[in-house]
Amino acid sequence: MNDLRIKDLSAHVGEEVTLLGWVYNKRSSGKIKFLILRDGTGYLQCVFFKGNLDEATFNEAGAVGQESTVEVTGAVKKEPRAPGGYELDAKGLKVTHATEDYPITPKEHGPDFLLDKRHLWVRSSRQVAILKVRHRIVKAIRDFFDERDFSLFDPPILTPAACEGTSTLFETPYFDLGNAYLTQSGQLYAEAGALALGKVYTFGPTFRAEKSKTRRHLTEFWMVEPEMAFADLNDDMDLAEEFLEYVVQTVLKDCAEELRTLERDTAKLKNVERPLPRISYDEAVEILKKKGSDFTWGDDFGGADETLISEEFDKPVMVHRYPAAIKAFYMKRDPENEKLALAVDVLAPEGYGEIIGGSQREDDYDTLLGRIKEHKLPVEAFEWYLDLRRYGSAPHSGFGLGLERTVSWICGLDHVRETIPFPRMIYRNTP
């Protein structure tokens, strides 16, 4: 196997090397033909001079189709003007798979066409950059929790009941046991984990049969959910702000080139440092009123409301203590005001909306049982969850961060559909 890759060329200046990859682009000017080679680690300008080559090689460099698979041999040169800083003075070209009529060309294509061709679209430089940032974010998330003594705790994906409301459940027949549901959140299981291991996190795919066709909604998305025993809402917010600072600063440090490819204005990301502003739902409603909105206390914020609120801040803002009536059954009420839930949502700046939802959990058996009944949830399916309040109950808190919304915000994208290799939306489940 030839494992020399474009990203490693700086150590091979002056040497003759052979690289394997694909033709990303090409152009020619008289006696010179340029091939841009891509191999997943970078882009390399390969220069074919007519004077240095036999005619067949020179002609082949002009004829080879976009996305053909090739082996290029030549001498590595430092060239500050070339993408990546190096170029190849090409001596040989072997086409190992000739591609003709590659459907995605450098011209503009519509989003539907590109989504139909997603299996090829992921080869484009923009998509490669986004997927590398996604990978770096995933690793930063894992490192953050691993370094702080959180244990990874994997929840099931097929579950017997709803976690985040019954209106967005995907249902599937389950042998003789009736129906199972694709998980909306690993949280309820993470709570069992926190009472066993102290601090845990779940990280995996979650599902919502969302009827929403917005730029923030997928039907399958990834969520990371930390959960901590002996932690209240303030501890939860402390964790959330330290976590966001870590993730954003890590990406700024390690993905500068990708963010450049994406033309991301990084000045706005540099601001993501502790402390993050904390305002109550009441204060958020005041902001909306001040801005002329006719929002009524007690409603949930829509995307447009979230944008208006976050415009007041140059970093993510934590909004806490929502009306309990619009929040999930498991949230603990504020002892100072029973109408409020000890909940927090983090709204990203620049109109990206809610990226984190979290809360302190109800830890009292009778109160929780009452809530399950009020929400008309099947008590039987929650017996195991109630056990967590029968045996060794403790105050505990956690949150969920949506990976795709976070990638979309950090990369500065228009839509979450570009943040995951194969997006699933209400109107799309292919390829």
Site string for ligand 4AD, 198-227 (x = CB under 6 A): ----------x-x------xx--x-x-x--
* Cβ at position 401, least distance to ligand 4AD in Å: 6
Residues 6+ away with beta carbon under 8 Å from 333: 324, 339, 340, 341, 342, 362, 367
User: Is residue 232 within the footprint of ligand 4AD (CB under 6 A)?
Assistant: no
User: Is residue 354 within the footprint of ligand 4AD (CB under 6 A)?
Assistant: yes
∠ CA(334), CA(338), CA(342), 5° rounding?
A: 25
**Single-letter code of the amino acid located at 308:** L
Reduce the DSSP state of residue 374 to 3 states and report it: helix
- For residue 254, the surrounding DSSP H or E stretch is helix 233-254
Q: Which of 45, 187, 310, 408 binds ligand 4AD (CB under 6 A)?
A: 187
User: Is residue 349 within the footprint of ligand 4AD (CB under 6 A)?
Assistant: no
Alpha helices in 47-96 (DSSP H): 55-63
Q: How many CB atoms lie within 10 A of CB 205?
A: 15
The encoded tokens of residue 83 equal: 């993408």
* Structural contact between residues 347 and 355, judged by C-beta atoms closer than 8 angstroms: yes
Nearer to ligand 4AD, 76 or 163 (CB): 163
Q: Compute the radius of gyration of the chain from its Cα atoms.
A: 26
* Cβ at position 79, least distance to Mg ion in Å: 49
12 vs 161: CA distance, rounded Å? 58
* Cβ at position 319, least distance to Mg ion in Å: 11
* Cβ at position 190, least distance to Mg ion in Å: 16
User: Is residue 342 within the footprint of ligand 4AD (CB under 6 A)?
Assistant: no
User: Is residue 405 within the footprint of ligand 4AD (CB under 6 A)?
Assistant: yes
Residue 356 contact partner, candidates Mg ion, ligand 4AD, none, CB within 5 to 8 A by sort of partner: ligand 4AD
* Cβ at position 358, least distance to Mg ion in Å: 9
Q: How many CB atoms lie within 10 A of CB 119?
A: 11
Residue 399 contact partner, candidates ligand 4AD, Mg ion, none, CB within 5 to 8 A by sort of partner: ligand 4AD
Helices (H) and strands (E) in the chain, counts: 13, 17
Nearer to ligand 4AD, 199 or 217 (CB): 217
Residue 185 contact partner, candidates Mg ion, ligand 4AD, none, CB within 5 to 8 A by sort of partner: ligand 4AD
* Cβ at position 357, least distance to Mg ion in Å: 3
